[in-house]
């Protein structure tokens, strides 16, 4: 598997499954969003509209069709940007149920 790289900056263009990131020092990166990425194009557009600083974990050479963004997180997200498993839907339902119960139980 190719080495995972990280780029940080702001998303300036989102078009279908592709987006452009510009770093603080002005370098531009063109990415194709992976089908199994942690965000979708709607979330990319939201990050672009809000001008949110992000970090992108990618494989391949930026600007080429082989450059694939696997993970996009905000600059303030804690922990490494690399590849992580998404929480299961069962875990998410359990957490939502607990939060609902805790709210009504006064916790």
* CA pair distance 97, 64, nearest whole angstrom: 44
Q: Find, among 75, 60, 71, the residue nearest to 29 by Cα.
A: 60
Q: Give the model's pLDDT for residue 91.
A: 53
Separation CA 88–CA 90 (nearest Å): 5
The pLDDT of residue 66: 72
> CA torsion 69→72→75→76, rounded to 10°?
-150
Instruction: Give the integer Cα–Cα distance in Å for 56 and 53.
Output: 10
What is residue 64's predicted lDDT score, i.e. its pLDDT? 72
| Tens-binned pLDDT, residue by residue, of the chain (107 aa) | 568 899 999 999 999 899 999 998 999 999 999 999 999 999 999 999 999 999 999 999 877 777 899 999 987 765 554 444 455 556 556 656 555 555 555 54
């Amino acid at each position: 598997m190719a080495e995972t790289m990280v780029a940080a900056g702001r998303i300036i263009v989102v078009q279908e499954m592709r987006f452009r990131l510009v770093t603080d020092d002005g370098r531009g990166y063109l990415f194709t969003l992976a089908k199994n990425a942690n965000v979708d194009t709607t979330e990319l557009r939201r990050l672009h509209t809000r001008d949110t600083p992000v970090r992108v974990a990618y494989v391949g050479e930026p600007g080429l069709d082989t450059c694939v963004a696997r993970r996009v997180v905000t600059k303030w997200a804690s922990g490494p940007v690399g590849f992580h498993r998404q929480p299961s839907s069962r875990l998410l339902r359990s957490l939502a149920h607990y939060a609902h119960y805790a709210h009504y139980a006064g916790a």
